[in-house]
Amino acid sequence: MRYFDYLTPEQENDIFHHLPTEFNNRTEQEVLAYAVGAALYMPAIRLTIAEDIANKKIKGLVSMVIDLEDAVGDNQVHFAEHNLCQTMDKLEDFLNRGILLPQSIPLLFIRVRSAEQFDRLLVRFGDQVRLITGFAFPKFTAAEGEDYFRILDAYNKGKAPDAPILYGMPILETPDVIYRESRLATLLRIQALLTKYKPYVLNVRIGATDFSSMFGLRRNPDMTIYDIGVIRDCVTDIINIFGREDNRFIISGPVWEYFKSDRVLKPQLRATPFQETMGKDGLRLRMSYLDRYVDGLIREVAYDKENGIIGKTIIHPTHLQPVQSMYVVAHEEYIDAMSIISNSQGDLGVMKSQYENKMNEIKPHLNWSNRIMIRAKIFGVLHDKHNFTCLLADTRREEAIV
């Protein structure tokens, strides 16, 4: 699996200073945590998941979460489990028949409802677990989380030596996380639990939709999640606890749920980057994003990145390419990071950037540089004077997944 593998060699040469590298569910944990990126959620009741993967129906699909929880009605759980098992059987059959190649399987995750269901599915899947990268654990608390990770730990310690590690992705979305009076103690308990099982924690996900529902709130498409004060405060605390460099977890951002709406406020997606890259075609592309409200998504991902969040829950295939393109490293970022790392031996403390527009301080900017280099490995590096819009030039509308 590789990001932007749908580009032609000519397009790759034109766009990338360094190409993204390949990865799979056996790649080292730190890199794999970044590679989850824009994870497309699909309800487990969808009948054609395996066929969609085999036929490469969804352009740019790299990671997928098959959802047994909120996307499935309470009366559909039995059918959803049955259909998920059939999906896994189909994927195994497609692999055995050569219809599907191993390198074409996206990073697959299953969002379960309970530790009991998680344990039961592990038994049911058997060797098919090798096709899965991990499981997402919703409504995560320290108490129930211990049950999830105890099962995960037992599996990983008892798995065959050649089987990939199976990971967990806790989703923070419970009242004791969002309510101010209980938040700090709750987050610290969860942090202690995740630190105990850190080799199996791929990332920490933020369930801002559940948080918002506790206050009867829902951001409109002209806003970002950071414009809702009570959610912003909670996200800030999550970053403060889990994003520290001395015990850092990769944090994934909340879902953007709009793909069509009526505009109220003036759009903030600037025309210049699109016009400079593609001229009039770029301006038309920008308008198509404004019509579909992807401009709000792009702005929110920009805020995510500034706050150290890498990854996004995706509910519509048209969101994949815009989010993925935002994670590609700009040439200037890459050159700064390379310069800081290569001069971190103690001979310099500060120096002017090669772009001659800023000062690079070695010690304060070293952690940032290391993160940039991991992103560069996964998502690639753009040529000088290129921006994310060059990866959107051939964007087409995808069919909705419902």
- CATH code, 241: 3.20.20.60
**What is the radius of gyration, based on Cα positions, of the chain?**
21
Q: Quote the number of domains for the chain.
A: 1
Taking residues 142-168, report their average pLDDT: 97
CB 138 within 8 A of CB 69: yes
Question: Please, which pLDDT band fits residue 400 given cuts at 50, 70 and 90?
Answer: very low
Q: What is the pLDDT of residue 287?
A: 55
pLDDT in tens, 305-356: 999 999 999 999 989 999 999 999 999 999 999 999 999 999 999 999 999 9
Q: What is the pLDDT of residue 398?
A: 41
Question: Please, which pLDDT band fits residue 401 given cuts at 50, 70 and 90?
Answer: very low
pTM higher than 0.85, yes or no?
A: yes
Name which of 14-18, 120-124, 168-172, 221-225 the model is least confident about: 221-225
Q: How far is CA 23 from CA 133, 325, 348, in A?
A: 12, 18, 35
Question: Please, which pLDDT band fits residue 222 given cuts at 50, 70 and 90?
Answer: confident
311 inside domain? yes
141 inside domain? yes
Question: Please, which pLDDT band fits residue 11 given cuts at 50, 70 and 90?
Answer: very high
Is the pLDDT at 39 greater than 90? The verdict is: yes
360 inside domain? no
Question: Please, which pLDDT band fits residue 267 given cuts at 50, 70 and 90?
Answer: low
| 375 vs 297, higher pLDDT | 375
Q: What is the pLDDT of residue 288?
A: 55
15 inside domain? no
Q: What is the pLDDT of residue 277?
A: 66
208 inside domain? yes
400 inside domain? no
33 inside domain? yes
What's the half-sphere exposure (Cβ side, CA atoms, 13 Å) at 268? 12
Q: What is the pLDDT of residue 125?
A: 96
Question: Please, which pLDDT band fits residue 258 given cuts at 50, 70 and 90?
Answer: confident
343 inside domain? no
Taking residues 271-280, report their average pLDDT: 64
Q: Which two tokens stand for residue 189?
A: 């308990």
The domain in which residue 74 lies consists of 24-328
Taking residues 174-197, report their average pLDDT: 98
Q: What is the pLDDT of residue 220?
A: 85
CA distance 400 to 402: 6
Output the average pLDDT for the chain: 91
Q: Is the dihedral of CA 196, 180, 298, 370 positive or negative?
A: negative
